[in-house]
Chain A
Amino acid sequence: MAKKKTIRTIPQKRAPIREQAPAERVRNFSEVSCGFRVDDALHEAERCLLCPDPACVAGCPVSIDIPGFIQKISAKDFRGAYDVITDTNLLPAVCGRVCPQETQCEGVCPVGETLEPVAIGRLERFIGDQGIQEGWTSIPYIEPNGFRIGIVGSGPAGMACAADMTKAGCEVTVYEAFHLPGGVLRYGIPDFRLPNDVIDAEIENLRRLGVRFECNTLVGRLFTIEQMIEELGFDAVFVGTGAGYPSFLGVPGDSLNGVLSANELLTRCNLMRAKDAGYDTPIPLGRRIAVIGSGNTAMDAMRVCLRLGADKVHCIYRRTRAECPARAEEVHHAEEEGVEFHWLTNPVEVLGDDKDNVRALRCIRMELGEPDESGRRRPLPVAGSEFEFEADLVVVAIGTNANPIIGQTSKLKLNRRGYIETDANLATSMAGVFAGGDIVTGAATVIEAMGAGRTAARSMKAWLGIRDTDRVYETGRAGGDGKRFGIDVRERNYARVRIA
């Protein structure tokens, strides 16, 4: 092994990242960040200390072997790095872009104690993009085991579960209610954060692996989860339908024209391509837009509005910047692009004109009181501080509730908030049915949903009696000695993996 790197010997500064300038990018839907070039990636890979007991792996919801893939980058073996990542994460180009790395892998990186942490996310994206560009896939030798798995929802949780079960030898069908697969990646996250062709490429990889996608299929209504098991011959089912069902303000004027959920705005823009010429779906445009809430969805909605040509976009949030749930980077980007933040402000009424269109928003100033059950200080209205400002579109991004369809159509046990109840292994109250992602936890992140999909896959394999081949599939291309973590891959996976 090379001489041990120390915090003093590694490059002190992160490789710079090229971004579209704010003034430029608010006029297009192209990606903000241009990603690492080869030199940048090599520079950044040098910054990794290759800790023997890596905190970053523990900090990753799907436990990617981060030092392992970074080492491959240093050795300029990008294909090898791709194989290491896709061992555990089929969607590196997606996760490299949308994971909140600052609270996960990068948040626990020891380099970050003195310097900026290793830019793990950007390295992952670099490798993911290399994979797409070069048309790489990591298709292991799969020995069919005859089990049939049905997956409800083609979002990140469903995709992760589908990948693992397919690799384990099962025949997997993923059902999606929309006409295109991808779930929140498709309808929720805008192009400038996650281009559609990246989603297409990652889904194509799953298809090549053997996953079948059936779109236009609303499980629960077209057939039920019970029917999947009893009539359609599935041995196990994973439910990853996401949260859905957006909350509205509950203030007067809530249903005026020009008040809409961030979900609706984003779906019209991202999935239905309302912003593109030649597509039929309309999208409401505004000049002065108020977005309520300050999570990642709110940030996406605001930045979409700017790109659709709004003159001014305001962010209305009842707490302060410190409590703002969005990723710091997203807030920073939104600010750069000209979003005006109104912290400690809460809407009390939406005012309409004689045609029931929004004309203004009446708000009240807030102050922080005692901590509430979430541990955050509770925002309280300041009496007499109401004020109005002009707005012609109000986008509501204050969270979602559980989608009711699965509850309406199955006997799955739900908790009192309507989410599916599971045990720690993500098994539901129905034998053979597992669930994970937002429909279990409430709204969370893409990678957490993927983590849940993988956990459910492990449980499913245990339940079906499939030998778990969790961390596997060295195809021989990368390693040479066929060893990972010092363990002979063949030994662990003799049943299913053939060293090519």
Chain B
Amino acid sequence: MPDAGKRSKFEIVAREDFSDVTYLLEVYHPLMAKAAHPGQFVIVMSHEHGERIPLTIADFDRAKGTITLVIQAVGKSTREMQQNCQVGTALHGVAGPMGIPSEISHARKTAFVGGGLGVAPVYPQARAAKEAGAYVIGILGFRNKGLMFWDDKFRRCCDELIVCTDDGSAGVMGPVTKGIRVAIDGHPDIDEFVAIGPPVMMKACAEATRPNGIRTVVSLNPIMVDGTGMCGGCRVKVGGQIRFACVDGPDFDGHQVDFDDLMSRLKRFKQEEHAALERWSENCRMRGVVTAGASSASGRDAADAADDLAASFDPYEEAKGG
């Protein structure tokens, strides 16, 4: 049963900040590390009064007994976690691993597409495919070179790696769909694509592969409460049918998914989210809390940054992982 050793339950044993808004947490949970498979997710509560937020398991280490989460600070909860989740602290709750594990297909040649934060959850799948003996092509998309992460990890498990950046500061300039074209042109025999990232990116990927009829698996991360099939908040339309991403997914056939429906449903709590973020930022300002963001080159304080986010950023635009 859960290790009663020196580590406390759900303790954060390592943290890495990829950028002002993206961070990695390695959480001690030996049972979860043992049970986790690529493609699964956890529901995290950072504190007793917190929300239950779904986060894809970006990696797991069975020997160390840890799972890795990569999080983008976009809403109140994820920004608060960015501030509070330091090594040695513990999360209030971590439940999972949820969802049906990704099928490690017998495809001989598979391309793994990760956009932004989606790079993290696609990694264990790429690694598993490599271990299963497939020819693995990695296609990673970032806004710019500064936001790039885990390209080294991918290099180790990919036979070929294509990096795309919006501004061309690294690799190919353009969206990941450009990378997909490059991959298909170079390898007309790709059996399968796996694409994880913001819904709009997964939609574009599905459209990019549709003409070639190449199977394209996407991993959906809609708004959830329980993650166990009980609330139906995460329902998505796949092939005209209602499916629950938490227990029927999160992987679905990208050519069947109604992405417009998904993107619309991701905006369900937009107003409430903005209000919560504003309240929280205000609270931070009152308490004079300075977040990691404050040390950024821009020199502005975190509360201002959060205000900007509240005003401009759609928390679900890049919902994957946050």
Contact = CB atoms under 8 A, between A and B. Distances in A.
Interface of A: 173, 177-179, 187, 214-218, 221-223, 232, 242, 244-246, 248, 250, 254-255, 257, 260-261, 263-264, 267-268, 272-273, 278-282, 284, 356, 403-405, 408
A260 B232 contact: yes
Contacts of A403: 228-230, 247
B12 to A, nearest CB: 15
Interface of B: 1-2, 10, 31-32, 35, 40, 45, 49-52, 76-77, 92-98, 100, 225-233, 235, 237, 242, 244, 247-248, 261, 264-265, 267-269, 272-273, 276
Given A178-B95, A217-B95, A255-B261, A408 B247 contact: yes
A284 B225 CA distance: 13
A340 to B, nearest CB: 25
B230 A255 contact: no
A218 B232 contact: no
Given A267-B225, A356-B264, A223 B96 contact: no
Contacts of B273: 282
B93 A404 contact: no
Given A177-B95, A223-B31, A280-B50, A255 B229 contact: no
Contact of A261 (B31, B50, B231, B248): B231
Contacts of A255: 235, 237, 242, 261, 265
Contact of B228 (A177, A215, A264): A177
Nearest to A281: B51
Contacts of B244: 245
Contacts of A279: 49
A240 to B, nearest CB: 14
A218 B35 CA distance: 11
A279 B51 CA distance: 8
A405 B247 contact: yes
A177 B96 CA distance: 8
A273 B49 contact: yes
B232 A222 contact: no
Given A272-B225, A280-B76, A282-B273, 16 more contacts: A177-B226, A179-B45, A179-B52, A217-B95, A221-B96, A244-B229, A248-B242, A260-B231, A263-B230, A263-B232, A264-B233, A268-B225, A272-B52, A280-B50, A356-B267, A404-B247
A221 B97 contact: yes
A228 to B, nearest CB: 11
A179 B230 contact: no
Nearest to A220: B228
B225 A257 contact: no
A370 B49 CA distance: 51
12 contacts: A221-B98, A222-B31, A222-B35, A222-B97, A248-B242, A263-B232, A267-B231, A280-B49, A280-B77, A282-B272, A403-B230, A404-B248
A222 B231 contact: no
Contacts of B261: 255
A405 B228 contact: yes
A404 B246 CA distance: 11
A242 B230 CA distance: 9
Given A263-B231, A282-B269, A403-B230, A218 B98 contact: yes
Nearest to B225: A267
A179 B276 contact: no
A280 B276 contact: yes
B174 to A, nearest CB: 30
Given A245-B230, A279-B49, A404-B248, A254 B242 contact: yes
Contact of B269 (A218, A284, A356): A284
A485 B225 CA distance: 49
Contacts of B77: 280
Enumerate the 10 nearest inter-chain pairs by beta-carbon distance, A residue then B residue, closest first.
A282-B272, A264-B231, A179-B93, A244-B230, A261-B232, A356-B264, A216-B95, A280-B51, A282-B269, A246-B232
A179 B92 contact: yes
A178 to B, nearest CB: 7
Contacts of A221: 35, 40, 96-98
Nearest to A278: B49
Contacts of B235: 248, 255
A393 to B, nearest CB: 11
A404 B32 CA distance: 20
Nearest to B247: A404
Contacts of A250: 242
B242 A179 contact: no
A257 B35 contact: no
A187 B242 CA distance: 23
A232 B1 contact: yes
B257 to A, nearest CB: 12
A230 B97 CA distance: 20
A222 B237 contact: no
Contacts of B232: 245-246, 248, 260-261, 263-264
A293 B127 CA distance: 48
Given A179-B92, A246-B230, A282-B276, A257 B49 contact: no
Contact of B229 (A214, A280, A405): A405
Contacts of B229: 244-245, 403-405
B27 to A, nearest CB: 12
Contacts of A273: 49
A260 B237 CA distance: 15
Contacts of A264: 225, 231-233
A218 B276 contact: no
Contacts of B272: 282
A281 B276 CA distance: 9
Contacts of A280: 49-51, 76-77, 276
A281 B75 CA distance: 12
User: By CB atoms of chain A within 10 A, which of B228, B230, B231, B242 has the most?
Assistant: B230
B268 A218 contact: no
A148 to B, nearest CB: 10
A365 B97 CA distance: 45
A246 B268 contact: no
Nearest to B262: A255
Nearest to B53: A280
User: By CB atoms of chain A within 10 A, which of B51, B248, B261 has the most?
Assistant: B51
A165 to B, nearest CB: 18
B192 to A, nearest CB: 22
B93 A246 contact: no
Given A257-B268, A282-B276, A179 B228 contact: no
Contacts of A404: 229, 247-248
Given A179-B93, A222-B35, A260 B98 contact: no
A356 B261 CA distance: 9
B38 to A, nearest CB: 14
A336 B97 CA distance: 45
A404 B232 CA distance: 13
Contacts of B40: 221
Given A232-B1, A273-B49, A218 B247 contact: no
